[in-house]
Amino acid sequence: MPFVANTILNIQHLRKSFGTLVAVDDVSFKVERGTLVGLLGPNGAGKTTTVSMIAGLIAPDNGDVLVEGARLTGDTDPKKRRIGLVPQDLALYDELSARANLRFFGALYSLSGAALDQAITNAMTLVGLMDRLNDRVSTYSGGMKRRLNLAAGLLHDPDVLLLDEPTVGVDPQSRNAIFDNLETLKKRGKALIYTTHYMEEVERLADRIVVIDHGKVIAEDTLDGLQSRVAGVGGGRATLESVFLTLTGRSLRD
Amino acid sequence: MAFTPLLAMVRKDLQLFFSDRRSVIVSFVVPIAIASFFGSIFSGPSNSSEPAKISIAVVDHDGSAISKAILSGAQGDRNLKVATPAEDEARSLVKNGKTSVAVVIPKGFGEAAGSAFFGDGEKPALGFLYDPSRNVELAMVRGVLTQHVMEAVSREMFGGEQGRTMVQRTLPQIEASTSMPANDKRLLIEMLGSVQKFYNRPEGTTAASQPRGITMPYTVKEEAMTAGANVAYNGYAHSFAGMAIQFLLFAMANIGVEMLLERQRGLWSRLRSAPISKTTLLLGKAVSGALISLMILLVSFGFAMIVFKVRIHGSVLGFLGISLACAVMASTFGLLVAALGNSPATARGVTTLAVLMMVMLGGAWVPTFIFPAWLQQFTLIVPVRWAVDGLDAMTWRGIGVTGALMPVAVLAAFAVAFWTVAATRFRWTEG
């Protein structure tokens, strides 16, 4: 697979199994700067395992994660600084203030002093929580926590941001605010990988869509490209949901 | 190793610990309160105060000179607090736990005891009604009463009216005896004749006016083997060591459970996504845990030193070494909890039991010398035993720095073992 200059992240033939269960099987795709790739799939399709391998949380059995062409290796690989993770869970310390949380998460990337303070200001300004910086996280609403969760992943100014269902359980206003933040990040040239169950989110945000099922990539295209594969009702344009159901089937997974 | 992330881990854990008021109270205030209570119990009497007396009841159905002398002796004993109720009331007092032992002197006891004293009479029974939950006190009362009974009976037989009457009654019987061998008869008459001369010697000479019976042929010189000749045993030293270790283990077990909760909340995923080794992440937890443990130990002992005058009579360096080794052991115990616990709920239950077992077997509650011999040997595999014994050695026992070497080495070995298991078994992701 030839290296493309604009490609920041190249996922090559990732495979991961847990015992006899093959969670991810030969997954490959690329992410370019300033774009958002939507990772779609039913529950248990292998999305989170894929994201975990990209973030360096678990080691793949096979395959590589290339950051600007360089292979990501090991826990302490400095290239991990190029990647930011916004986990599905609200990975925050409720008992501490937002500032204390961000100071801690920033220090994990060896940020300190004025650089850390500036990074905190930038991230909190982006998500619109600067006025609540010194408040305990336990006093935040669910939507505010989601935005703070996003800010924590942005502190070290990563080139690639992995967002694992970042809008679960938030109200429409907070979701919209998060979308605005992501649009801003795209404009700044960040590459985003976004996993979700919400089709409308992918329709609004994604430049390319990767559909995963049973650990394999079953389709990868733009929204238009995917929609053109399936005939819509009455000969009209197919919705992403009907495309998704056509590709992954209608049987229940949970 | 990256020090900025490591320091951040430590700082964050300390912030979290001190932001939880309940944890702080449980870790610092509760051990001080409980140790103060246990210390007051196990410290024993101070030099200036009276020893704790055993409450007994004496029921005298006899009313003889001997029984009155026994009662008088018991009432004068510094170890006993004597009441003289009727027998029914005495039984009720023992049954209700108000009195440890009731001694019932039956009618005719003095007469029979006097006869038995010279070996040919039937021994009378002294009744002991006792509380079965206080066997130790029963044994002590039995020993103390033996002394008073022997004194009372022997004094009466060698100088009292009952002794004179018995000799006067016995001499004619011997002289008239036809069955006794002549030689034995002569010797016995001579002996009792001498006893009569002893009774009839002029009053006012030597001990005639103050007849003495058989007394203990020795006195006791007691010396407590503490740090020095003028250093009294301070039970607070042991109780504060035990309670501080118990509660720092609870605190560390709680940190282990918190690690499982952090894993559930996805925090470990975020931490692991940073360019930091797993060793650094675990080390951050270990260092913060050790610091918290050390603080609990030092604050507890600081309180004991200020309020209860506990002193390090041994080596300060040894004390600090054991404290540090204990803190590291406890901290890695917390990591072990996180590594072996499947879920926070089960880990919490299992570790509570484990900590209680460790502190109980390790002598944190009661000294290990009261355990059976096999259990004393067995408890050497419990780290708490080494920590408590080591701190005892450095405080009230006053042993030098060499006494700290083995406890430090053993606690460090436990820490290495706990760390190794934790580092190899901890699951970094949920599920």
Residue A251 has pLDDT above 70, yes or no: no
Q: Are strands A83-86 and A160-164 parallel, antiparallel or unpaired?
A: parallel
For residues B325 and B199, the model is more confident at B325
Q: How confident is the model at residue B118 (pLDDT cuts 50, 70, 90)?
A: low
Query: How far apart (Å, rounded) are the C-alpha atoms in residues A122 and A130?
Result: 9
Q: Is A135 within 8 Å of chain B by CB?
A: no
Q: Is there a contact between B19 and A77 if contact means CB atoms under 8 Å apart?
A: no
Query: In the sheet that A191-196 helps form, which strands lie side by side, from edge to edge?
Result: A83-86, A160-164, A191-196, A36-40, A208-213, A216-221
Subunit contact A91:B4, Cβ cutoff 8 A: no
Over residues B134-147, mean pLDDT: 89
> CB contact, 8 Å: B276 with chain A?
yes
Report the pLDDT value the prediction gives residue A244, as an integer from 0 to 100: 84
State percent of chain B over pLDDT 70: 94
Confidence of residue B177 (pLDDT cuts 50, 70, 90): confident
Q: State the pLDDT at residue A2.
A: 47
For residue A110, the distance in angstroms to the closest alpha carbon of chain B comes to 6
Phi and psi torsions of A17, nearest 5°: -125, 150
Residue A3: is its pLDDT beyond 50?
no
- Checking DSSP bridges between strand A7-18 and strand B54-60, what pairing results, if any? unpaired
Query: Which of the two residues, B50 and A22, has the higher pLDDT score?
Result: A22
Going edge to edge, which strands form the sheet with B127-130? B80-83, B54-60, B101-105, B127-130
Instruction: Annotate A122-190 with DSSP letters as a single string.
Output: HHHHHTT-GGGTTSBGGGS-HHHHHHHHHHHHHTT--SEEEEESTTTT--HHHHHHHHHHHHHHHHTT-
Q: Chain A contacts of B271, Cβ < 8 Å?
A: 108
Q: Considering only residues B429 and A219, tell me which one the structure prediction assigns the higher pLDDT.
A: A219
User: Percentage of residues in chain A with pLDDT exceeding 90?
Assistant: 72
Whether B70 shows a pLDDT value over 90: the answer reads yes
ipTM computed for the complex: 0.90
Lookup: tokens for A234: 């009455």
Per-residue pLDDT reduced to its tens digit, A145-171: 999 999 999 999 999 999 999 888 888
Q: Dump pLDDT digits (tens) for A119-129.
A: 999 999 999 99
User: Which of B324-333, B341-350, B407-416 comes out lowest in average pLDDT?
Assistant: B341-350
What pLDDT, in 10s, does the model give residues A21-60? 999 999 999 999 999 999 998 888 899 999 999 999 999 9
| pLDDT score recorded for residue B176 | 83
Contact (Cβ atoms closer than 8 angstroms) between residue A226 and residue A243:
yes
Q: Which pLDDT value is given to residue B49? A: 52
Cα nearest neighbour of B6 on chain A: A108
Token pair of B306 as six digits:
């200020």
Q: What is the mean pLDDT of chain B?
A: 88
Mean pLDDT, all residues of chain A: 90
Residue B424 clears pLDDT 50, i.e. is over it: yes
Q: Give yes or no for a contact between B38 and B239, defined as CB atoms under 8 angstroms apart.
A: yes
Euclidean distance between CA atoms B57 and B164, whole angstroms: 31
Q: Contact A109/B274, CB-based, under 8 Å?
A: yes
